[in-house]
Amino acid sequence: MLKRKRTDDFIGPYAFPRPNPRSSVSVNSTLFDHGVPYSMKLRAHSSCINALALSSNGGRFLASGGDDLEIHLWDFHQDDLVQPSHTYIGPRSNIFCLEFSQSNKFLFAGGTDAIVHQYDVSQLERGTLSRNDKLPMSIFREEDIIRDVTCSPFRDELYLSASENGRVIQHDARIQFPTNTRAADILQIASEVTSVQFHPTMEHLFVTGDIRGDVCLRDTRMAFGPPRTRNNGGRVRTFQTALARRTDKNMCKPESSSVAFDKTGEKLAVTSLHYYPTIYALSDPYPIAICTANAVEKLPGERTYSNSCTMKHGCFGGIGIDNSGIEYYCGGSDDFCAYLWKIPPVEHLVAQREEIPGYEWYLEDSSAVGFTEDLNSSKYVPAEISQPSAILKGHNSIVNTTLIHPQYPLIFAAGIENTITLHSPFSSCPFSRQLSLTPREVRRLSSTATAEEGRVIASLLLGIEPADSEDNDEAERDTIRLFDGILRREGQADPFEVSRWLGADEGSSSGDEQTLDTIN
């Protein structure tokens, strides 16, 4: 067992160097910028892992959920982390989102069963629950797939859910209704809502992203309530997500897969289908940076960052970022890796952004891409962060979701595989000595379908389970084969071909929210 040191040089029981608040920039650089070469696998799930969430106030617990309908909690205060500390059953279908409330009183889960599950986890940190204890659970029934849940950073009982029927619902767990939710608590958007997130420091602000690519900052005081108090769907800012390319006479607007605030709420990241993670300053409608891997040297046949398959969820994070102005953004990729980018301060990125008047845009023959309101408006070419600080390998298929621990140098990544990969700069950590060097080679995607892939697809078309459900390893291999075929068909798509956008005439910039007076 790893000896638990409690000296001034270490963080509590953890054998990690203690960050110095006065030198947080150098701590970040030391921990992440020289590579994240070690990793270990957390094994308990039997299928794809779609959602990860860290508990509030220090991240003691990691919650994970996915296609096997189980929610596992991993306790990082254990001496030897070989299995979850608790496992919960409740969702009837694939789990898409998980979130802890502000003081860890509740854990919320949502997914394809169109139900928000609310677990009372208030006893977890007191250690009064055994592994098999059942938690008190409440449910809220929606009308469509739940894509995201976000908890108020100020009140445990207040949270928002977003679903594919375009509804964003404001829930208050203190209020019980005998029938459906009041109309005053529903914001109806005219397209599938893919993500919703509360602002971390301003009580009434939240952001939404949808399948049409619209990303809007909203105010609960104008988005919900009786019709007389509502205004413009609660929108206080619409972020420009439409793209123009000098070699094309049309624009595109990629679907927003997820949105994420940084710790202070100064920055917002949008992960878009068929495009790069894009960073916005909250006070600016145009992006200040895109995160790419264009500066990474690749061998012939090697792939790089892409997001054309599955739903991706990225995150901000870093050690000691409160005053340094330096933090990181991490996102998963179709090339079986996760990418970690260092994000400079806002003012540095704004200074690098280029604004090009609309009448000059097509005068130069280049493939430059800019963000714009319409074809005739100025184009904004954001700074490009083209060299990731680290590329996290050790995965055998698509990485969908990532998390950076808020206190310790740990990064979690999960996706198509049935394991969570924990990445670290160190070869050991307080809950395990099993970290090993991560393989440097990434599995290659074959250029043609294999016979095994054909068998998997044929089985699915006939409604037959491709592998014995009790053989988790073979079932995982079949899932990977299935997504290999999807990658060959859909990978590396050009957003200007698959997400063409004509502008305001398509009705995407106004009139999309509805005031509801009654609910059936």
Sequence-distant (6+) residues with CB within 8 A of 92 are: 69, 113, 115
pLDDT at residue 422, as a whole number = 95
Greatest Cα-to-Cα distance within the chain, rounded to the nearest angstrom: 69
Cα–Cα dist 116/146, whole Å: 7
Residue 336 within any structural domain of the chain: yes
CATH code where residue 388 lies: 2.130.10.10
Sequence-distant (6+) residues with CB within 8 A of 30 are: 17
Residue 415 within any structural domain of the chain: yes
CA contacts within 13 A on the Cβ side of 339: 29
pLDDT at residue 173, as a whole number = 76
Residue 3 within any structural domain of the chain: no
pLDDT at residue 333, as a whole number = 97
How many angstroms separate the first and last alpha carbons of the chain?
58
The number of folded domains in the chain is: 1
Query: Residue 250 sits in which domain range?
Result: 37-449
pLDDT at residue 184, as a whole number = 84
Q: Could you read off the pLDDT tens digit of each residue along the chain, which spans 520 residues?
A: 333 333 233 333 334 444 444 444 445 555 787 789 999 999 999 999 999 999 998 899 999 999 999 999 999 988 888 899 999 888 889 999 999 999 999 999 999 999 999 998 888 776 656 665 566 677 888 889 999 999 999 998 899 999 999 999 999 877 765 445 678 899 999 999 999 999 999 999 999 999 999 999 999 999 999 988 899 999 999 999 999 999 888 899 999 999 999 999 999 999 999 999 999 999 999 999 999 999 998 888 789 999 998 999 999 998 655 545 568 999 999 999 999 999 999 999 999 999 999 999 988 878 899 999 998 999 999 999 999 999 999 999 999 999 999 888 899 999 999 999 999 998 888 888 779 999 999 999 888 777 777 777 767 666 666 555 566 788 888 889 889 888 988 888 889 998 888 775 433 444 456 544 333 3
Residue 431 within any structural domain of the chain: yes
Q: Do 264 and 283 contact (CB within 8 A), yes or no?
A: no
Residue 425 within any structural domain of the chain: yes
Q: What is the pTM of this model?
A: 0.89
Cα–Cα dist 181/422, whole Å: 39
Tokens at 88, concatenated? 């919960």
Helices (H) and strands (E) in the chain, counts: 6, 39
Residue 153 within any structural domain of the chain: yes
pLDDT at residue 15, as a whole number = 42
Residue 5 within any structural domain of the chain: no
Residue 158 within any structural domain of the chain: yes
Cα–Cα dist 82/85, whole Å: 9
Q: Do 299 and 288 contact (CB within 8 A), yes or no?
A: no
DSSP string spanning 339-364? EEEEE--HHHHHHH-EEE-GGGGGGS
